[in-house]
Structure 1
Amino acid sequence: MADPAPLSPLAELARRNDPDRFLCSLFAPPERRETQFLLIAFNHELARARVAASNPMAALIRLQWWREAVEQAGAGTPPRRHEVAGPLAIALREGRLEAADLLGMIDAREAETEEEIPSRGALLAYLRGSAGGFAVASGRALGAPVESLPGLQGIGAAYGMAALLRAIPAQARQERSLLPADLLAGHQLTPADVARNPATAGVAAVARSLAEEGLALLRESESRVGRLPRGSIAAALQGQLARRDLRRMLAIGWDPSQPPPPRGLGDRLAVMWAGWRRG
């Protein structure tokens, strides 16, 4: 049997930094997978802007760098010398990605540079713009019907909610919290309190409430999307992981202050089965 073809540099980046979305992208048509890998790599660069920066201003500078990279691609400026920015400029000029989608993803990430996310509504707006924006860009690149994009955005936001809740311990290690301040205040907590010690009953109550909301959003959004064409199903597969994660969070015994277990075979099979069945 011949050895499998080696992964491209972008595919390696996607697999290493975002294995969830990498797995979903494998169900895209072969000729469109590289654009999906590029989108995953771009999203990772935005996600690490705040994590890698020493302070919020440095994070904003990183986001501005990417904003300018997207805008300059449209203006015909030579691509920036970067493993993601260079291919991104080519994809934008070839029409494989849309600048408006990418700029919206960048704008949404600015919420992570604030001291806190003030409200439940602000959290949902952030998730719809960031993880939801990724799902829209992914679906558009795969030729999903325009009428399905709002539903895909909701699926992406639900996945983002699950990812945010899974990351509570990691956020605390970075001395921050993305849980909304208004919900925490109902339990006499602040985001700073959560950053110092996420192992409190109030944090668990807020996290479960958000998990319930994420699951409801997922159900509604999947019903809006309906049956996608075979070539664009990859854009919706992250909903399979969101559903499994959010249900775990609503099970008795879930502790949001503890690191989540690694992905198991059941998670991967759920994505693979949905991809094959719906494709």
Structure 2
Amino acid sequence: MAAPALSPLARIAREQDPDRFLCALFAPAERREALFALIAYNAELARARAMASRPMAALIRLQWWRDTVAEAAARPPPRHEVAGPLAMAIRAGALDPADLAAMADAREAETEELPFPTREGFHAYLRGTAGRFAIAAGRLLGAPAEALPGLEARGVAYGAAGVLRAAPALARQGRCLLPADLLAAHGLSAEAAARDPGAPAWRALARDLLDGGGLAAPPAGRLPAAWIAAALPAVLARRDARRLRRSGLAAPPRPGRPLADRLAVTWAALRRRA
């Protein structure tokens, strides 16, 4: 029997964020489309700076999404492949507009020309982006309030590993999201990420950020099947962290996730441990 065809929104989520798309497949079927809308929305926010020719254009793009979220309950959904389904999910009560607006607010930091001055600012950025995504996903899937801090911590860990993995590519674009005080402490610069991402100093920085910085994923624990999808990115965060501590920021030998990573997510979902 053939697998059911993906919806247009699911295809967008898979293309723009294959990690979270994979995790979303383990959510209850009736919640997946709303989760795909959240994934696609987050991807649109993440693309705002990359798609803009200048920071002001990125800020305008982020404001358009904030307006879309704010008006979702009062106006018909716009004719947009992501904004339309997102507005429907908001109107259905599946997504909290406050979470979505906070995610857009946090992305404004990416429009700055200079890196975060301190680790504290970097942590706040991670909480507002990947951490808030995890909270929004948890709420959507019915996670209780007491579970949200743990989901946020898992999301932050995934976001931190993602920033480290992306550092060489961002450096080639003249951008850097790593905190300036941490770079200085290790005698590094954004440009060095593009020149020699596997240098020992980058391995030391990754260990410092992920371990000393309190950004490591919490230990895996048994979670309800109904909302484990919101926690599954932590499985990838732990695997990424091991590679970053071992190899620094050196790029993987081939694009995309290794099969072992995808199998680890599947096994974690089946065991309900993330």
Q: Deviations over 1:244-268 (max 9, x none)?
A: 01011112xx141535643112101
How far apart, in 2, do the equivalents of 1:95 and 1:155 lie?
24
CA RMSD of aligned residues (A): 2.0
**Within 5 Å, which residues of 2 pair with 1:19-30?**
19-30=18-29
CA distance 1:269–1:62, change in 2 (3 Å): same
Q: How many residues in Structure 1 have an aligned counterpart in Structure 2?
A: 270
TM-score by length of 2: 0.91
Structure 1: gaps (5+ residues): none
Shift of 1:207: 2.9
How far apart, in 1, do the equivalents of 2:234 and 2:5 lie?
28
| Aligned mate of 1:247, from 242, 249, 258 | 242
Shift of 1:219: 2.0
How far apart, in 2, do the equivalents of 1:277 and 1:201 lie?
36
How far apart, in 1, do the equivalents of 2:193 and 2:267 lie?
38
Letter in 2 for 1:108: A
How far apart, in 1, do the equivalents of 2:130 and 2:253 lie?
19
8 Å CA contact 1:167–1:259 kept in 2: the answer is no
Q: What's the counterpart of residue 277 of structure 1?
A: 271
Q: Are positions 1:263 and 2:263 aligned together?
A: no
SS in 2 for 1:274: helix
Using the aligned pairs only, state the percent identity: 59
**Within 5 Å, which residues of 2 pair with 1:186-201?**
186-191=185-190, 193-194=191-192, 197=195, 199=197
122-131 or 226-235, which deviates more: 226-235
8 Å CA contact 1:166–1:259 kept in 2: the answer is no
Q: Are positions 1:235 and 2:230 aligned together?
A: yes
Letter in 2 for 1:229: P
Shift of 1:275: 0.4
| Aligned mate of 2:101, from 100, 103, 106 | 103
Letter in 1 for 2:92: E
8 Å CA contact 1:128–1:157 kept in 2: the answer is yes
Q: What's the counterpart of residue 6 of structure 1?
A: 5
Structure 2: gaps (5+ residues): none
Letter in 2 for 1:206: L
Shift of 1:236: 0.4
Letter in 2 for 1:172: A
Letter in 2 for 1:267: D
How far apart, in 2, do the equivalents of 1:118 and 1:216 lie?
17
CA distance 1:88–1:164, change in 2 (3 Å): same
How far apart, in 1, do the equivalents of 2:129 and 2:153 lie?
11
How far apart, in 1, do the equivalents of 2:91 and 2:171 lie?
40
How far apart, in 1, do the equivalents of 2:207 and 2:176 lie?
16
Q: What's the counterpart of residue 36 of structure 2?
A: 37
Letter in 2 for 1:121: E
Letter in 2 for 1:26: L
209-218 or 14-23, which deviates more: 209-218
8 Å CA contact 1:212–1:250 kept in 2: the answer is no
TM-score by length of 1: 0.90
8 Å CA contact 1:169–1:256 kept in 2: the answer is yes
How far apart, in 1, do the equivalents of 2:80 and 2:213 lie?
35
